[in-house]
Structure 1
Amino acid sequence: MKIVIYQTSDLHGYVYPTNYVTEKPLGILKIGSYILNDEKNYDVALKIDCGDLVQGSALTHYLSKKDIKENPIIKCLEMIGYNAYVLGNHEFNYGLDYLKTAYEKVSNKVLNANIEGLPFHSKPYEIFDFNGFKIGCIGLTTSFIPNWEQEKNIKDIKFLNPVESYRKYENELKEKSDMIIVCYHGGFEKSLDEKMTPTEKLTKENQGSELLETFDSIDIVLSGHQHRSFITKINNVICTQPMHNGETFTKIVLDTESKEINYELISVSNLQEKINSNLESIFTDLETELQKYLDREIGNFDKDMILDDIFEARLKGHPFINFLHQVQLDVSNADFSVLSLFDSAIGFKQNVSIRDVLINYPYPNTIKVLKITGEKLKEAIEKSATYFVIENGKIEINEEFLVPKIQNYNYDTFGGLTYEVDLTRDFGDRVVSMKKNGKDIKLQDYYTVVLNNYRASNTAIYPCYENAECVKEINMDVSELIIEYLQKNHSVKLIENSNYIFKY
């Protein structure tokens, strides 16, 4: 008997093969159409999604504003025939009511061994019996969610340690299963080899390696969360993680007679299938509505501010970055603004639509205002400045921001001040000037700084914000704040000059 296992993860609501600017080889419709054809080549199929499914695209943003009775993305996966779902951290972004609406109808398929207090029923694991061959699948989700998520979105919910949760069910899974699959919305915190050398700070955000080090009962780890795109064997355990937005997905084929296992990560760019018309019909009317919504013009600038080179923009500044700081400072009245330029950012043309905003800022971050000293601000700029290194006389990105996963989002720019950084100096001693209104910022004085909730909470990367007093929370998505700012001001004049200089 041949069993095929398909895994998706971090689809982030990307349905059509587009980012709503241009066509892209990605998305649920392309993957689902392939699976429905390909599964006919095998005796049985097991289809698993490992989380971050219903948030992250222009479509999911639009759905979050509507009073929907059934989430069409889940409906689509049900038509594809998914057997199991694991919750990701972004499933909580739109609140518990939205989460319940999305997953309640498929709650009997939600695998969840380490989250207590969900607004619907779930089970820790499922034993899938394929003609006597039994595969045990346990669902685990990163327990780091309280470090990012707004408290109101996870009220009365407990996130338990995935490693201890697996330990709780290990014997049951071993007794009932011929094979154990860990379906984990979390990644690997150590190198993908037998050495398992730490590749990030061991905060318990990602515990895939710890699971492998602690237990010898696991046969396959289907992971997610880190957006890394790999499939490999570590100590004879198949470990895989698809790329986000449905760019790649996992396929594993098990022959129960020969015991042979073949595995691959399939790139959507290589698929030839036409999109299944039944799957697409779920979204046809919704897509028409969405396009009208996205094309609604909300404001304009005095000239274009397109990001032709995002690396250069991060290094030298850009009017688009200035504008984002302008919005955050305006809504918060903080002294300083902190923000990351996302890889999806493309900038704005003169006339701006809702589509343009959501492409440039696709995440449902809210913002907080913290009270910190000038010294802590300097620490933050110093940390951010480690993003750049000089190699052979040329500025490059520090490998620590690229391996084991790309982390451009951990490079921040700072608004509301002017600052200079000397890249020829050692890490931690690169900031040579910080001024506000032409005067030096005093290291012992207190200031307010506005930044998104992710950066304010995830202090493992920027410990300078740890235990800082939160003086204000603005619980609107940053994308909504940008839309509101443009609608209010309508015509906006660009700030062209950069407020920071990197010397080298």
Structure 2
Amino acid sequence: MKILTTSDLHSYIYPYDYSDNKEKNMGLSRLSTLINEIRDNDTIIIDNGDVLEGSPLSFYHFNFDEDNIHPMSRVMNYIGYDYINVGNHDFNYGEKHLLKHLDYLNAKCITCNVLYKNEFIGKSYIRQMSNGKKIGIFGIVTQYIPNWEKEENIVNFKFLNAFEVCKEKVNELKDKVDYIVCVYHGGFERDLETNELLEPETFENVGSKILNEIEGIDILLTGHQHRSISCKVKDTIVTQSASNAKEISFVKINNEITSSLLIADKEADYEMLKLVDEDEKKCQVWLDEKLGESKVDLKVNDEFDARLNKHQVITFLNMVQKDISNADLSSCALFINAKGFNEYITYRDIVSTYTYPNTLVVKKINGKTLKAYLEKCAEYFEIENDEIVVNNKYIYPKLQHFNYDMVDGIDYTIKVSNDIGNRIVELKYKGKDIKEEDSFSIVLNNYRSSGGGDFSMIKDSKVIKEIQTSMVEILAKYILKNKVIDFEPVNNINVIK
């Protein structure tokens, strides 16, 4: 028996990066060729979620072509997936689009800890191997989704405890099958070798808890953290593949179970690409539409430096957020692999810089909360060999550069050598020291507003208003309206040793 599993595809079908259209070892079209080379009559093909959101093609679909079938739904049927699990990002565009995707797919949904209008969206399955042995397969997704997702997108969904459902399913299956496969859209909160805790125990990731406390799982197929994992922990084979269809997990069951990760280095499946060729052509035309031009250098060449010495593209993003919200303060992060804007700005620049379908929320905070928020952000840095570097917890086990926010509208200094919680050594608004009782309005993205990234102090703050337009659309409209972007650089954040 062979089990091929994709995870965190994020709507990357084509074998290139949309920021420059240069071919890379990525894209479901390359993995499709690999799947066709490997599959036989005793092969199971699984997807582990996060397929509907991510690439510009997906953004284009939801904003300009949503009445048609999502490109990912079409190519997944072409490949012939047997089972699918849902991921947290599959809820980003609301129940209508997720249910439409699930209804169109020929694959069976195995997500066992999510209910829609009090009915489970998936169930476990038993599959017989060619040698007569049986495999039990079920899926679970991180229960942390309500902490990130906009409420209107999940109002009819209920998310059960992933660990408890996993335990129940193992108990249900263990006497009926020879092998148990758990497909988990979540990752690991502990180091797989040392068992050292790597992150706060929020239950976003419970992979280690599953491995440590539930006996009987033969294969644990994971995702969410975008890591490359193929190993054995105790008696369980564990895999996880990199995002954007760069890899596929390959598990073989013979007398023993083995696993490996295969790279997307094959030729693209051009028959598959024919199914979405018109969608892609329209998307590419849209991406290259000129919106305006910038007199300020907004191109990001060094991500670390752009965070250490706040890049002016952050100033611009915050400027736009303040413009539409009229908030006193604005906060945003430089997302992973953000490219910034060229002199002549196109949609390609925007979606390569602002890579998530976030909306905005304006909240009311006081000086005490603002300082606590900035102290949390300041944890991003640490001192190593007398140099300022990124705190390793923002790199391993998962890249979390998006959890370092930069705030405009205030001036502040981060002293990295100070203890965590005491790093904000200067904090001023309009030249005056900020007091605990001072009151401000601040505009943030909906992910941060809901406490995403463990920013509980922001989650607990009062909502003034919500702006339901996506930030990509807000940026495009601002640039189209103003045509020429020109402003004085704002260097309001000072990060020192």
Distance (Å, rounded) in 1 between the aligned partners of 2:400 and 2:487 = 28
- TM-score, normalising length from structure 2? 0.95
Distance (Å, rounded) in 2 between the aligned partners of 1:471 and 1:121 = 35
Alignment-derived partner of residue 134 in structure 2: 134
| Residue range with higher mean Cα deviation, 89-98 or 65-74 | 65-74
Classify the secondary structure of the residue corresponding to 1:152.
helix
Distance (Å, rounded) in 1 between the aligned partners of 2:473 and 2:210 = 39
Structure 1 residue 212: Cα displacement: 1.9
Whether 1:261 and 2:257 are equivalent positions in the alignment is: yes
Structure 1 residue 383: Cα displacement: 1.7
Distance (Å, rounded) in 2 between the aligned partners of 1:305 and 1:430 = 28
Alignment-derived partner of residue 336 in structure 2: 343
Distance (Å, rounded) in 2 between the aligned partners of 1:234 and 1:495 = 55
Residues 195-230 of structure 1, C-alpha deviation per residue, up to 9 Å, x if partnerless? 533211111111111222221111111111111221
Residues 388-439 of structure 1, C-alpha deviation per residue, up to 9 Å, x if partnerless? 1222221111112122222111111111111122223222222121222222
Alignment-derived partner of residue 77 in structure 2: 78
Alignment-derived partner of residue 28 in structure 1: 28
Q: Tell me if the contact between 1:141 and 1:186 (Cα under 8 Å) persists in the aligned partners.
A: yes
Structure 1 residue 107: Cα displacement: 6.7
Distance (Å, rounded) in 2 between the aligned partners of 1:108 and 1:262 = 25
Whether 1:421 and 2:414 are equivalent positions in the alignment is: yes
5 Å-filtered alignment, 1:230-269, equals 230-255=229-254, 259-268=255-264
Distance (Å, rounded) in 2 between the aligned partners of 1:73 and 1:120 = 25
Unaligned runs of 5+ in 2: none
| Residue range with higher mean Cα deviation, 380-389 or 118-127 | 118-127
Classify the secondary structure of the residue corresponding to 1:90.
helix
Q: Tell me if the contact between 2:112 and 2:140 (Cα under 8 Å) persists in the aligned partners.
A: yes
Alignment-derived partner of residue 196 in structure 1: 195
| Residue range with higher mean Cα deviation, 114-123 or 211-220 | 114-123
Alignment-derived partner of residue 480 in structure 2: 487
Structure 1 residue 460: Cα displacement: 5.9
User: 1:378 is aligned with what amino acid?
Assistant: K
5 Å-filtered alignment, 1:428-447, equals 428-447=421-440
Q: Tell me if the contact between 1:108 and 1:122 (Cα under 8 Å) persists in the aligned partners.
A: no
| Residue range with higher mean Cα deviation, 8-17 or 416-425 | 416-425
Q: Tell me if the contact between 2:11 and 2:244 (Cα under 8 Å) persists in the aligned partners.
A: yes
Distance (Å, rounded) in 1 between the aligned partners of 2:469 and 2:135 = 43
User: 1:323 is aligned with what amino acid?
Assistant: F
Unaligned runs of 5+ in 1: none
Q: What is the aligned-residue RMSD (CA, Å)?
A: 1.7
Alignment-derived partner of residue 17 in structure 1: 15
Alignment-derived partner of residue 461 in structure 1: 454
Structure 1 residue 120: Cα displacement: 9.1
Classify the secondary structure of the residue corresponding to 2:244.
helix
Residues 130-176 of structure 1, C-alpha deviation per residue, up to 9 Å, x if partnerless? 23221111011111111111111111210001122123333331122
Percent identity over paired residues:
37
Whether 1:394 and 2:374 are equivalent positions in the alignment is: no
| Residue range with higher mean Cα deviation, 336-345 or 111-120 | 111-120
Whether 1:164 and 2:164 are equivalent positions in the alignment is: yes
- TM-score, normalising length from structure 1? 0.94
Distance (Å, rounded) in 1 between the aligned partners of 2:175 and 2:363 = 51
Structure 1 residue 281: Cα displacement: 0.8
The structure-2 alpha-carbon separation of the partners of 1:266 and 1:494, relative to structure 1 and needing over 3 Å to count, comes to: farther
Structure 1 residue 471: Cα displacement: 1.0
Distance (Å, rounded) in 2 between the aligned partners of 1:118 and 1:104 = 16
Residues 374-397 of structure 1, C-alpha deviation per residue, up to 9 Å, x if partnerless? 111111112211211222221111
Structure 1 residue 108: Cα displacement: 5.8
User: 1:260 is aligned with what amino acid?
Assistant: E
Classify the secondary structure of the residue corresponding to 1:470.
strand
User: 1:30 is aligned with what amino acid?
Assistant: R
Distance (Å, rounded) in 2 between the aligned partners of 1:148 and 1:23 = 33
Residues 5-27 of structure 1, C-alpha deviation per residue, up to 9 Å, x if partnerless? 11110000011111212322211
Distance (Å, rounded) in 2 between the aligned partners of 1:172 and 1:301 = 61
Classify the secondary structure of the residue corresponding to 1:246.
coil
Residues 476-500 of structure 1, C-alpha deviation per residue, up to 9 Å, x if partnerless? 2111111121122221113324211
User: 1:309 is aligned with what amino acid?
Assistant: D
Q: Tell me if the contact between 2:411 and 2:427 (Cα under 8 Å) persists in the aligned partners.
A: yes
- Number of aligned pairs? 493
